[in-house]
A and B are shown apart, each in its own frame.
Chain A
Amino acid sequence: MDLFLQYLANGVVIGSSYVLVAVGLTLIFGILGVVNFAHGEFYMLGAYAGVTAVTLFGMPLPLALAVVLVFSALLGFGAEAILHKPMKNRDATSSIISSFGLAVALQNAALLTLGPQPRLLKTEFSTIPIELGPVFMPLQRALIPVAMMVLIGALYLILRYTWTGRSLRSMSQHATVARLCGVRVERVAVVTFMVGAALAGVAGFLMSSVFMVHPIIGNMIVLKAFTVVILGGMGNILGAAVAGLLLGITESMTSAYLANGLRDIIGFVIVIAVLLFRPQGLFGKAFERS
């Protein structure tokens, strides 16, 4: 039982990073209809930016976090100009292929400039252990779910109560109507990409103390995040939050009780099953699949 709780906690930590990446992805899909395979690269580059800020420039964590936020948001700004602006009125696969290309380019650019050797973030928090009953982990790790909840909570409030948030939501419901009502669609698109990228970048930074940072970490995380997006229902933020935690926990349990080799596969098997039998996601209402 104690071990079970420990696995659960580990799953929640990993799941939190999935949530942060997937929420941006689902926003970009839900609002702009773009399937962004380069999203994992925001995570990877955010991680590098954070590690560099802390280890090379000796910044304190909150400042490094701010750097990561700004840096990833800028990446999102650039990505929008490549993946969305020129691709309007094109078929669904165009943006997928293009983002695929961008992912390959960014990843290899990172490999060329930063090299393949992995890095790990070590801060003053990594050595402070905390114990919650039978569950044990370094403080730095325990902060990840907390940071996730703060960020997602803030996002939720922004979407709910600010003018920008309402434009975002109206866009996701009906782009043409939103345009007619005076929503500045171009600006909404840029903001969506920036917010999505910032969330993914922060996730990368937070996880840089748990997993090694190297240029190809974006690969797996983006695939996992897609799994979460589909499980949660395309465009559904709360769905993605719940599904992200669920996937993290499922993986943790699979590796603990079934086989470690199945850990990464399980999500993809689930995703194919869900797309075939429940395309609106686990929680969503009916959704057009084209």
Chain B
Amino acid sequence: MKKLAILLVVALVAAAPFVVGGYETNVLMNALLYVILATGLNLVAGYCGQFSFAQGAFYGIGAYTTAILSRDLGTGFWFNFPVGIAVAGLFGLLLGIPALRLKGHFLAIVTIAFQTIVYLTLSQWTSFTGGQTGLPVPSIGPVSLFGTTLFEITSLRSYFWFTLVIAVILLFAVWRLLQSRIGREWIAIRDDETLASAVGLDTTRGKLTAFVGSAALAGAAGVITAHAMRGVTPDDFTIWISATVVAMMIVGGKGTFIGPIIGAVLLTSMPEFLGGFAEYKMFLFGVLLVITVTLLPEGLIGRVRRLRERFS
């Protein structure tokens, strides 16, 4: 039943480009990318309880890895994708190390400092990253197997479908991860770290895997974005991207699988419903974040679940 519902939703989303125009398809594509980013953040912040404001940095690391690889080695998507994920994951490991010693405020500040360092490096190290103007990235182009071209990824629609496939695969992997032992261990670390080690869990490994997984997902989104946008600039990976991803996770409900997905879709599409007030987008994100944290700390999904429990 549940499987059927999920299939139906995916099929509906896949059919969307036939119904809506190019602009809306673009919005949907963005929503998919943010779903990946918010789900990634949720691993480390929602499940493992280690707050991070650096998701935008890992997103940028994935994207710039792609751009630099295609510039210097002329490699294409299928090479860049795993490498981009791995490089982002590696930086995730790096940021995870402070998390072994720091908690709460102090960890949050380190992640913000990290995000800022990455942004400043992308924008200032002109000889390597292209500085403020950024770098061009070629399209994914034809996808071939054993010498025959299967299909070509250049149009917006093809990018959308391609991103959808990748997003579904990644979300499924995350779902499996959360159902497995490691997911349970992350929750244990979040709930009570002392107790987690007392029952024999290696909390160091647990936290590091959460950071790596979270960063790897952002890296994946970054690689796709770089190819889809045909280029990267540092301003696509500012701390405001991180803030947006945090807002999505919090509004939807951190520590639930579906919450950040809903939050990402909601906040990406919200500006479209604002009509002439679309420029108020970031302002409203901010207000929404304050209101949610203050009045609805468990997020939409968390609240819905609690209400349902109360009535059953």
Contact = CB atoms under 8 A, between A and B. Distances in A.
Say if the two chains contact directly (CB < 8 Å).
Answer: yes
Contacts of B109: 35, 226, 230, 271, 275
Contacts of B280: 108, 112
B69 interface: no
B286 A276 contact: no
A289 interface: yes
A111 B279 CA distance: 10
A21 B280 CA distance: 28
Contacts of A97: 246, 250, 289, 293
A230 B29 CA distance: 40
Interface in B202-247: 239-240, 243, 246-247
B289 A98 contact: yes
A101 B108 CA distance: 14
Given A97-B293, A98-B289, A100-B289, A271 B279 contact: no
Interface string B283-299: 10111111001100100
A268 B117 contact: yes
A105 interface: yes
Contacts of B110: 271-272, 275
Contacts of B102: 275-276, 279, 289
A268 B116 contact: yes
Interface stretch (B32-40, B119-127, B302-310): B119-127
Interface residues of B, number: 41
Given A261-B124, A275-B110, A276-B98, A105 B287 contact: yes
B104 A290 contact: yes
B181 interface: no
A92 interface: yes
A96 B105 contact: yes
A172 to B, nearest CB: 15
B104 A91 contact: yes
A82 B116 CA distance: 26
A105 B117 contact: no
B266 interface: no
Interface in A188-229: 219, 223, 226-227
A106 interface: yes
A112 B104 contact: no
A96 B101 CA distance: 19
A109 B283 contact: yes
Contacts of A112: 279-280, 283
Contact of B117 (A98, A100, A269, A290): A269
Interface string A82-105: 100011001111101110111111
B81 interface: no
A226 B293 CA distance: 22
Contacts of B58: none
B120 A105 contact: no
B113 A94 contact: no
A264 interface: yes
30 contacts: A29-B105, A35-B108, A35-B109, A82-B290, A86-B294, A87-B294, A92-B103, A92-B105, A93-B105, A97-B246, A100-B289, A101-B285, A101-B287, A101-B290, A101-B293, A102-B286, A105-B285, A108-B280, A108-B283, A108-B286, A112-B280, A112-B283, A226-B109, A261-B120, A265-B120, A265-B124, A268-B120, A276-B102, A289-B102, A290-B103
The 3 closest A-B pairs by CB, nearest first: A101-B289, A105-B286, A104-B286
